[in-house]
Amino acid sequence: MTAVLVLVLCQAAMIGLVAIAVRQQYALLGGYDLTLAAVIAVAAESVVYATGFSGGAWGLLCALLIAWCVSTVGMYLWNIAMTGTAVRRDGGLVFVVSLGVNSAITGLIGLVRGPGTLASGVLVPRVHFAELEVAGILVIGIVLAAIATTLFVLWRRTSAGVGVALLEQDARFAQELGVEPARLCLPAAAAVGGVASAVGVYQGLANGASPEGGAAIAMYGIGAAFLVEGRGVLGAIIGGVVFAVILVGSQLFVSASMAPSILFAITLTLVLARGTSRMQQGVR
């Protein structure tokens, strides 16, 4: 039972982290950003290759740094491209464009390194804590998520973080106050890159790296971000906890292969229930 709780906690942390990143990108670009999936996949690939050279703590640290740098550069280029071309906040094209970019990156990864899952060279021993014995990788995941969330919350207190928070709450008012999304691209990319690379590193260590590896968790993150709206980081984490409980519950009591479909069905229900057409929003 305790092992299940630790697993739920770890999954909640990962989905919550992605939900945080999804909300941040939504605030900056005005749409759901699927390039996070590509960033997670690239981070997972980085960690698998980096730990292939050195599997110890230093190897892990180097892998984390490489993943963060790659994620930050990727997200920065993407944010610049989106804010520069004014796709941002116009017709909700961000999701479709990011889907295309994610597909292209997934295809490129698959083309270069071939299909299948590559396992990392790190063997994490089981951890004994008081009377508990849990998989070490779950502990690493929880610790990574805690560090990433803490750093993200601290970053939200900086001027750039407050700017993004203002954009999240009221984009027009934020721009009246002089918050320019284009100026926030680099700090926001570093913050989101850090969060996404933490998820990617955990994915790479726990499940290995595959070209399509980031898509599912990115979609869970979008669902979790939908679930509790307007409560900042806390709302994203609550959404992550709910999704993790459903995911692990479905894997245990329904079927492991059916669990992702259940989460996608919940996300679909949330999207339909919210309703975004002009008729549904009552715009006259």
Partner 1 sequence: MGAYLLAMTCQAGFFLSSGVASGWLTKALGLSSLAGGAVVGTGAYAYAIAARAGLEPSGCVAVAALAGCCVGAVLAVTRGRVEGSDFALATYCGQMVWLGVVANASALTGGALGLSAIPGIELAGLARSGVAVVLLGALCTLAALVCHVGERGWFWTGAAVVRRSAELADTLGVDRLRIELQVGAIYGGTLALSGAVMASYLSFVGVSSFDASVSIAILALGYLGAAGGLGGTAAATLLVVVFPEFVRLAGMSSARSGYLRLLLSGVVVAAYAMWRHVSHREMAQR
272 binds partner 1 (CB under 8 A): yes
255 binds partner 1 (CB under 8 A): yes
β-sheet bridge partners, residue 132: 129
Shorter beta-carbon distance to partner 1: residue 55 or 110: 110
> Measured between alpha carbons, how far is 87 from 45 in angstroms, rounded to an integer?
29
Residue for token digits 């070490």? Answer: 136
Shorter beta-carbon distance to partner 1: residue 37 or 122: 37
Binding segment for partner 1 (CB under 8 A), chosen from 102-110, 124-132, 142-150, 178-186, is 102-110
Cβ count within 10 A of residue 156: 19
User: Using CB under 8 A, which of 16, 31, 187, 213 touches partner 1?
Assistant: 31
Residue 220 C-beta: closest distance to partner 1, Å? 11
* Interaction mask 72-101, partner 1, x per CB under 8 A: -------------xxx--xxxxxxxx-xxx
Q: How many CA atoms lie within 13 A of 46 on its CB side?
A: 25
Shorter beta-carbon distance to partner 1: residue 94 or 140: 94
Shorter beta-carbon distance to partner 1: residue 49 or 264: 264
Cβ count within 10 A of residue 108: 13
> Measured between alpha carbons, how far is 211 from 270 in angstroms, rounded to an integer?
28
**Closest alpha carbon to 26 in 181, 154, 214:** 181
User: Using CB under 8 A, which of 49, 103, 119, 162 touches partner 1?
Assistant: 103
User: Using CB under 8 A, which of 49, 54, 80, 110 touches partner 1?
Assistant: 110
171 binds partner 1 (CB under 8 A): no
DSSP assignment letter at 180:
-
Question: Residue 209 in 3-state DSSP?
Answer: strand
Question: Residue 118 in 3-state DSSP?
Answer: strand
Shorter beta-carbon distance to partner 1: residue 126 or 274: 274
Interface size with partner 1, residues (CB under 8 A): 52
E strand or H helix at 158: none
Sequence-separated contacts (24+) of 50-58 with Cβ below 8 Å: 51/120, 51/121, 51/122, 51/204, 51/205, 52/120, 52/121, 55/120, 55/121, 55/122, 55/123
Shorter beta-carbon distance to partner 1: residue 187 or 221: 221
Name the residues that contact partner 1, by CB under 8 A. Answer: 31-32, 85-87, 90-97, 99-111, 114-115, 211, 215, 219, 222, 255, 257-258, 260-262, 264-265, 267-268, 271-272, 274-280, 284
